[in-house]
């Protein structure tokens, strides 16, 4: 379900219920100026309802086929409801509407002057029911958004923990790398010392050999 469509739908249901009440109250007004003002309000509200119907139609047609079909079916009900309101407004705004309202007041009495017809009550009940359904869908959408937000926060926390783990591993690798470098330096130093010691030993051996040769030569030459 499109949240944009639901927003338009909620506005239309509220406007439809308001229009129904205004049409009912306007039919009972006898003062010409008050009736004229009420008719102006109703006419503006009907124009606004037409705009909402067009917006819902455009939004519904922009959606996927499965969703679009359900929304267009619902939209046909709203169009039929709006046409009833237009007919009702046309009836109460006709030239004979004042006399009809006067006769209705005389017949029904002032006690039930604000009662509504069965059709108007049904329309109002349908509008309230649709408004409640829209509210339920909005609550469900909000619940889904909250759950998605909580899931997103949980994922971010997991990613943060993984990042900390990777940073810790990187630090450990850096320490190991430093230890390896130090070991290499120690081994290089030891290798140099061993090489140096080898040359020293070789030099000593060579010196001893030379000394032995000299001593032998000296002994042989003095016999």
Dist CA 55 CA 194 (whole Å): 90
Dist CA 32 CA 101 (whole Å): 12
Q: Are 98 and 30 within 8 A, CB to CB?
A: yes
For the chain, the helix, strand and coil percentages under 3-state DSSP, each to the nearest 5: 90, 0, 10
Phi, psi of 162 (to 5 degrees): -65, -40
Report pLDDT digits (tens) over 147-176. Answer: 767 776 667 777 778 888 788 877 887 787
Residue with the larger pLDDT of the pair 6 and 131: 6
The dihedral region occupied by 109, where left means phi > 0, alpha psi between -120 and 50, and beta the remainder, is: left
> What is the rounded average pLDDT of the residues 1-26?
88
Q: What's the pLDDT at 110?
A: 45
The pLDDT of residue 127 is above 70: no
Q: Are 82 and 35 within 8 A, CB to CB?
A: no
> What percent of the chain is predicted at pLDDT more than 70?
76
The dihedral region occupied by 63, where left means phi > 0, alpha psi between -120 and 50, and beta the remainder, is: beta
Q: Are 10 and 138 within 8 A, CB to CB?
A: yes
Average pLDDT, the chain: 80
> Angle, nearest 10°, between helix axes 65-92 and 118-221?
150
The dihedral region occupied by 29, where left means phi > 0, alpha psi between -120 and 50, and beta the remainder, is: beta
Cβ-based neighbours of 13, under 8 Å, separated by 6 or more: 127, 128, 130, 131, 134
pTM for the model: 0.44
pLDDT band for 55, please (50, 70, 90 cuts).
Answer: very high
């Amino acid at each position: 379900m499109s949240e944009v469509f639901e927003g338009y739908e909620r506005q239309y249901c509220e406007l439809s219920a308001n229009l129904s009440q205004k049409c009912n109250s306007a039919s009972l007004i006898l003062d010409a100026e008050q009736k004229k003002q009420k008719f102006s309000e109703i006419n503006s509200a009907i124009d606004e309802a037409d705009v909402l119907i067009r917006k819902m139609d455009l939004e519904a047609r922009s959606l996927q086929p499965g969703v679009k079909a359900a929304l267009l079916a619902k939209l046909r009900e709203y169009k039929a409801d709006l046409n009833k309101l237009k007919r009702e407004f046309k009836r109460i705004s006709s030239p004979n509407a004042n006399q009809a309202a006067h006769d209705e007041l005389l017949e029904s009495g002032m006690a039930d002057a604000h009662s509504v017809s069965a059709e108007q009550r049904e329309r109002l009940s349908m509008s309230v029911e649709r408004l409640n359904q829209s509210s339920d869908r909005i609550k469900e959408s909000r619940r889904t958004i909250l759950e998605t937000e909580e899931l997103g926060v949980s994922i971010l926390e997991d990613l943060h923990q993984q990042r900390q783990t990777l940073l810790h591993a990187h630090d450990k690798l850096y320490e190991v790398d430093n230890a390896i470098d130090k070991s290499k330096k120690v081994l290089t130093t030891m290798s140099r010392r061993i090489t140096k010691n080898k040359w020293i030993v070789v030099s000593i051996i060579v010196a001893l050999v030379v000394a032995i040769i000299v001593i032998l030569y000296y002994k042989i030459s003095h016999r």
